[in-house]
Structure 1
Amino acid sequence: MIVKKVLGEEILTLAEAKEILLKVRDEHEGEELSYEKRKAIEHAELFCHMDAARSRAMVEELEKLDKMKPELAVRIADLLPETRDEIRAIYAKERFTLTEEELDEIREIVDKYR
C-alpha cells in the first residue's frame, strides 16, 4: 500500500495503537500480515500495560497539570514511571525542571491508573 496523502495526525498511547493494530489483525484474519505489522503487534502486546480507555483518561488528567505537554503525557502513560527519577528522565530534554510536589502529583495520577 502506498500512502498518497496524510489526512491527519494524532498522538496515540501504546494502548490505543495496540487496539488499532488488533483490529487490523482481526480484519485480515487468515491472511499473512506484513513483517512490520506483526512486529508492531508483538511490541504492543509485550509493553502495553493497560487498556486504551484508561490510558486516554490518564493522558487527559495529566494534560491538566502545569508543565505538561501532550507528548509527555502520552510517554508517561506508556511508561508508567514508578519513581521521581523515572519521571525526571522523561523530562530530561525539557527546558524546565519539576518541583518535588509536581513529581509527586504526576506519580499519584499514574498510581491511580496503574
Structure 2
Amino acid sequence: MIVKEVVGEELLTLAEVKELLIQIMEERREESDEEQVYEFRKALNHAEIFSKLSAADAKKMVAELLEFEKMKPTIAVRITDILPLSRDELRSIYAKEKFTLKDEELDAILDVVRKYA
C-alpha cells in the first residue's frame, strides 16, 4: 500500500492500538477470507503481549496524568504504556526533559499509576 498523504496524527496508547487492530482484523475477516499480512499480525501480537490496560482505562489514566503541571501528552502516553512502579523508572521516562520532578510530584504520578495497574 502506498500512502499518498497523512490525513491526521494522534497519540495512542498501546491498549488503544490493540483495540483498533482487533477492530480492523474483524472488519477484514468479514470482507474476505484472506489471511492477515505478516506485519499486521506482528503488530497485533506485540500489542496483545505488552498492553496491560483496557483502552478505556488507558484513556482515563492519560487524562488523569495530563492534569499534572509538568506532564506532556507524549510522556503521559509513555507512562500509561510502561506503568512504572518506582521513582527510578519514572525518572528514566523524564530523563530527556530539561526539568526534574520533586519526590512529591513523582509520588503523585506513581499514585495514579498504582490506581490503574
Q: TM-score range by the shorter chain?
A: over 0.9
- The answer for the alignment partner of 1:66 in structure 2 is 69
- TM-score in terms of structure 1 length: 0.97
- The answer for the alignment partner of 1:47 in structure 2 is 50
- The answer for the alignment partner of 1:78 in structure 2 is 81
- 1:12 lines up with 2:8 in the alignment: no
Q: Aligned partners of 2:87 and 2:6: how far apart in 1?
A: 38
What are the ranges of 5 or more consecutive residues in structure 1 without an aligned counterpart?
Answer: none
What are the ranges of 5 or more consecutive residues in structure 2 without an aligned counterpart?
Answer: none
- 1:94 lines up with 2:103 in the alignment: no
Once the two structures are TM-superposed, the CA of residue 36 in structure 1 deviates from its matched residue by: 1.0
Once the two structures are TM-superposed, the CA of residue 27 in structure 1 deviates from its matched residue by: 1.4
Q: Which runs of 4+ in 1 moved over 6 A?
A: none
Once the two structures are TM-superposed, the CA of residue 46 in structure 1 deviates from its matched residue by: 0.3
- Percent identity, aligned pairs only, is 57
The number of residue pairs the alignment matches comes to 114
Q: Aligned partners of 1:35 and 1:97: how far apart in 2?
A: 41
RMSD of aligned residue pairs (Cα, Å): 0.8
**Deviations, residues 33-71 of structure 1 (Å, cap 9, x unaligned):** 111111100000000011101001100110110110000
